Structure 1
Amino acid sequence: MISTSPRATSVAGEPDAMSAREVLDLARSQQAAEDAAAARKLEAAARWADLHPPQSRHHAASFTLDGIEHEEAIAGDGCPTVAEFCIAELGTVLGISTTAAKRLIGHALELRHRLPRLWAAVHAGCVPAWRARLVAEATIHATPALTPASVAWIDAQVTPFAAKVGPAQLDRLVAEAIARQHPAEPVDPDDPHPACPDGRHVTIDADQVGFGGTTSVAAQLDLADALDLDHALQTGAAELKALGSTESLGARRAMALGHLARRQLALDLASATRLAADTDLAGQPTSLPAARALEFHLHFSAGLAGGLEIDHLGRMDEGQRLMVLDLVKSWCGDSHTKITVKPVIDLNTELTAPGYQPTGRQREQIALRDRTCVFPWCSQPARRCDLDHTVPFDHHAACDDPAQPGATTTSNLGALCRRHHRLKTHGRWQVSQPASGVFRWTSPHGHTYRRDSTGTTRVDSDPDPPAPPNRSSRAA
């Protein structure tokens, strides 16, 4: 809370008589300290890569196995590669995902080896590390790939201005510098179909779901197709308004796009008032197939006090977002929506399969229990992950052998994305499951982490993590 008195109160409870100038000086010094720390973190990432060069294939066997550690090229041409499995350990220490750690190391190597002027400016305190990383990200992923000479030219052009312009201007400056290193090839006027990269796409970001059940759609269309789509959306929005919709124009255009996806407009063309001519060969009225086929995994709390009462706010597995019950009702109440209700799965029940392969019910139970990959800080949805035996399954033991160390049972299974599944199998990480859904990971350098349905916790000083609280049943 901000005090309105002349003298604010500090965190320790003592009067804080700092003037406005002193507060600004404090903020400025803290920002400088933050920038310096970010520069040192880049330096640490580069040195970590130096300590983990790819293992030489000349000292290995004459054959390789799928899934074993390989060298990882994470920066541009001219930068050293690194051993793949080292990336995860740096990420866990920093409390970030393996993907974010890979990006950090890649930016550090790109700056140090291909953008040396910018690298020096960062360590001199002239350019914030986050600005330099924007440039590194652009040069690493430029298409076509930039040569070291081209990047050196960009380095000379961008560094003097990197700290003087805003992020948007910096993006334009880097894009212009890259474009100058890739001049467009001359177009043959006699060629009726000149070669050019096809950038058309439609991308639906279903992993990022808003509180109101919305998601973003981005597209690059042929101009004629774009104009046709705009006309269809404008027409659909006008029809919705004529039918009584009070939504905004933007909302009605979005609704019209959904109707187009279901190959129908606002009217229910399969109702009882359909045309008599719309019949099959036997003279029976035909019906349209389900126009909406949605598959979501939603969880709502329910109580039986005075009748069944369902909480108005639930959780959706897709995107790990909150979901309003009324919105789900509106989806299910729309015309031609096929609804499938799956049975409830008790997450506290121990399910066992007789062999190596988990059953479908086990897969659903583990996906509901773990939610994401169980490696520290990984957020890959569990439904996209492999099911891993925490204690490896012994294929030489009989399926019903009581001495089978790695039985296919709930308390010995966990969701692991393919990257971290390979790391567990071929790396030097150790993992145990002291309680069902609780995973204890130890890195090659001895750092320990506890991973459960609530997230990741560093437990280097906690040798015996407590079991998780009792979990209620979840609907599939």
Structure 2
Amino acid sequence: MAQPPSPQDTAQTVLPGAGTAGDESSDRAFLEAAAAELGVRRRAEVAELVRAAQWALRNGHPRRERDPMSTPGGDGTPSVRDHAIPELAMVRETHPASTRALMADALDLMHRLPRTWAVVVAGDCEPWVARKVAVISRGVLLDAIDIVDRAVARVIAGHAPATVLELARAKVIEADPETHAGEQEISRHKRYVAISRADEFGYRHVIARVTAGDGAWIDAMVDRVADILTLTHGHDHNRDELRSLAMGWLARPVDLLKLLIDHTDPNPGEQPAWAPDHLADTVDRLCALPARRLAALRGRGQLFVHLTDTALRSGRGVARIEGVGPIDVAQLAQVLGHCDLTVTPVLDLADRPRVDAYEHPERLKDHVWALTGGDVFPFSPRTATRDRVDFDHSTPYDVQGPPGQTGPHNSGPLRRRHHRWKTHGGYRCRVVGPGRHLWQTPNHLTYLIDQHGTHRLEDDDADIMLSAPDGVEIYLSKLTLSAEHYAS
């Protein structure tokens, strides 16, 4: 097997215009070659945008009765068959949402921002900046978009991206103030709080979109708690660490209240101006609650933790929490501490359970989820949680068919949009082994999804797997072809 190149070998690779180190003329040639490569990349990105727009044009009309159309771009751009987008995404090896965004930006630039598009085609600016302008201005109506296009086309070549995008935002407000006001109202309902996946050290980001006032008060409370924690943790924690610890206290309202009271100078007989009249009554009621009732104030949550028996016994190794990611087993106490736990039985994935009903019982869902690890649509990120997917029969359920049609041999989790594409868009799916799914697009491109990710198959290999009898697993490689019969 060929060895990967070392950093030294990579650094010594001869590039066009590289010349000899220390030679001024060769240094100039090297830099000129770098400039030329910039143009090559920009032209390639333009070609990708053109390809996406052409695919939209080829699929601009429905081909059957149930063939929904959607408009990825803004006002004045053509519609496209919704079922055609994921097929282009597969050959681009991206998620359909990324390809839909590419198509929307291409259509906006060509149909709504033609002057800006001309600068992009000439290679005089970064295509990603123009795409960002398309996103910013997507809500502007077609009869007003020219104001944005003219202004951006004048500055997009030669100005910093931040300058271009700031101008674009200003021109969007100027071009269509009524639409901008409407979008402001819509954005009021798009507030949220989200938690990122864990990084390699077990830490997560808490991301929230709140009003400016709420944000200021949350920041002030975090600062106040961090000030208090300085008394006990300040000797080996910097300010950012203390504020991070303070965020954790916000999740424990009773502990937080005690901490604040213990570190607030009492001033009997004087009620703060910000304190409502019922505050004293609320504090008295909290003091009267038993410990278990106080703990219930934190609410309930559900985490699915996967770890081996060896890691559980030794306290060393890696655990995986669904929706969080991998963490060190030693950090489980930080995640699960201060709470009541309910432990569910371990699933034996060697089993092949089946039921006769159309519905998936919960234990069967757990089994399928553990085998697949998430959404089984090609190139789909495994970030969906099990409550956000449909458990789909890969081979459609037949009410007149044989018993035992529902089980891991014929099931795969799919987000709702992916489920619709499979049901109505002409995409075929087949389970070809535990945790392995074979997909075929309307144009007969075939993809295998397994523990190694998503891989496109050659037509001959695809025919072998698609024609295999039920209950036979086919494993293909460049060197061997093997078939294993599994219990059905």
TM bucket (normalised to shorter chain) is: 0.7 to 0.9
Q: TM-score, normalised by structure 2?
A: 0.77
Match for 1:210 among 199, 219, 235? Answer: 199
Matched with 2:484 is none
2:213 pairs with 1:242: no
Distance 1:184 1:8 in 2: 55
What SS does structure 1 have at the residue aligned with 2:326?
strand
Per the alignment, do residues 196 and 452 of structure 1 end up closer, same or farther by CA in structure 2, a change over 3 Å counting? closer
Per-residue Cα deviation, 1:51-77 (whole angstroms, up to 9, x for no partner): 111328xx95xxxxxxx4311011111
Identity %: 26
Distance 2:326 2:299 in 1: 22
2:384 pairs with 1:381: yes
Distance 1:264 1:434 in 2: 52
Matched with 2:48 is 41
Matched with 2:319 is 314
2:218 pairs with 1:229: yes
Distance 2:190 2:247 in 1: 16
2:408 pairs with 1:410: yes
Match for 1:167 among 161, 181, 187? Answer: 161
Per-residue Cα deviation, 1:341-381 (whole angstroms, up to 9, x for no partner): 22211223212122111110111122222222111111251
Matched with 1:65 is none
- Give the length in aligned residue pairs: 422
What SS does structure 2 have at the residue aligned with 1:127?
coil
Matched with 2:279 is none
Q: Is the 8 A contact 1:367 1:382 kept in 2?
A: no
Q: Is the 8 A contact 1:201 1:221 kept in 2?
A: no
> Where do residues 266-285 of structure 1 align in structure 2 (5 Å cutoff)?
none
> Where do residues 30-109 of structure 1 align in structure 2 (5 Å cutoff)?
30-55=37-62, 60=65, 68-109=66-107
Per the alignment, do residues 427 and 29 of structure 1 end up closer, same or farther by CA in structure 2, a change over 3 Å counting? same
Per the alignment, do residues 201 and 103 of structure 1 end up closer, same or farther by CA in structure 2, a change over 3 Å counting? closer
Per the alignment, do residues 372 and 285 of structure 1 end up closer, same or farther by CA in structure 2, a change over 3 Å counting? closer
Per-residue Cα deviation, 1:77-124 (whole angstroms, up to 9, x for no partner): 111111110001110010111111111111111111111111222222
Q: Is the 8 A contact 1:363 1:387 kept in 2?
A: yes
- The answer for unaligned runs of 5 or more in structure 2 is 1-5, 260-283, 466-473, 477-488
Q: Is the 8 A contact 1:8 1:16 kept in 2?
A: no
AA of the residue aligned to 1:218: A
- The answer for unaligned runs of 5 or more in structure 1 is 61-67, 188-194, 270-274, 469-476
Distance 1:363 1:109 in 2: 41
Q: Is the 8 A contact 1:154 1:178 kept in 2?
A: yes
Matched with 2:173 is 179
Q: Is the 8 A contact 2:372 2:436 kept in 1?
A: no
Per the alignment, do residues 179 and 278 of structure 1 end up closer, same or farther by CA in structure 2, a change over 3 Å counting? closer
Deviates more, 1:101-110 or 1:343-352: 343-352
What SS does structure 2 have at the residue aligned with 1:433?
strand
Q: Is the 8 A contact 2:395 2:410 kept in 1?
A: yes
Matched with 1:147 is 141
What SS does structure 2 have at the residue aligned with 1:414?
strand
RMSD, aligned CA = 3.3
Per the alignment, do residues 24 and 440 of structure 1 end up closer, same or farther by CA in structure 2, a change over 3 Å counting? same
Match for 1:10 among 6, 10, 13? Answer: 13
Per the alignment, do residues 386 and 43 of structure 1 end up closer, same or farther by CA in structure 2, a change over 3 Å counting? same
Match for 1:323 among 303, 311, 327? Answer: 327
Query: How far did residue 209 of structure 1 move?
Result: 3.1
Distance 1:157 1:312 in 2: 57
Q: TM-score, normalised by structure 1?
A: 0.79
AA of the residue aligned to 1:230: D
Distance 1:184 1:434 in 2: 54
AA of the residue aligned to 2:230: K
Q: Is the 8 A contact 1:75 1:107 kept in 2?
A: yes
Per the alignment, do residues 229 and 420 of structure 1 end up closer, same or farther by CA in structure 2, a change over 3 Å counting? closer
Distance 1:39 1:147 in 2: 25
Matched with 1:368 is 370
Distance 1:97 1:181 in 2: 33
Per-residue Cα deviation, 1:368-408 (whole angstroms, up to 9, x for no partner): 222221111112515121001111111134xxx45x7xx00
Matched with 1:262 is 252
Distance 1:159 1:357 in 2: 56
Distance 1:162 1:363 in 2: 51
Matched with 2:152 is 158
2:343 pairs with 1:341: yes
